[in-house]
Amino acid sequence: MRKLVIVSMVLVSLLVAASPALAQAAKGENVAALKESVTTKLAGGKTYMTVGNRQVCTTADPKHPLNGASGDCDGACVMDAAGTATCMGSCTWVDRDGDIAFFTWDGQDAGAWKLADGTGKWKGASGQGTWKNTGSAPGNLARNAWEGTFTMKK
């Protein structure tokens, strides 16, 4: 009987260790202090523009590891003569524990984001979702709402 208990305990331990982490839905809002853009005129009526901001993240769940994280998001856009833009960039956020999460993003006023990796709890984590600009505020501030899923490595 004792061998059966030990074998059972080992099997349960292996199953728990091998079980995949579950993706959990999350949503939040970021307040962004905009950085000064640099614009360069290109041939064919196109324009290249750098974009960036410093963000603070709040989440709907105050216990989410991104709640209170902050960092920089930088990127660039290429606009055609009609004003249609293709934009992409990356963000590096530091959470309350000092761990770093790396994100990529695309879109002009709305788009997609992806968790690219990180340190500490973010090492090996994954995630993706959507974001949209929800307006500007006095003092060169902007707001972005986001939602998506995160899978934390166990």
State pLDDT tens for residues 17-52: 333 567 899 999 999 999 999 999 999 999 999 999
Q: Is 93 exposed, middle or buried (0-12, 13-18, 19+ CB in 10 A)?
A: buried
Average pLDDT of the residues in 5-14: 34
CATH assignment, 22-151: 2.40.350.10
Distance of alpha carbon 72 from alpha carbon 33, whole angstroms: 10
pLDDT band at residue 140 under the 50/70/90 scheme: confident
State pLDDT tens for residues 71-92: 999 999 999 999 999 999 999 9
Dmax (CA) of the chain: 80
Each domain of the chain, given as residue ranges in start order, spans 22-151
Tokens (6 digits) for 37: 């853009």
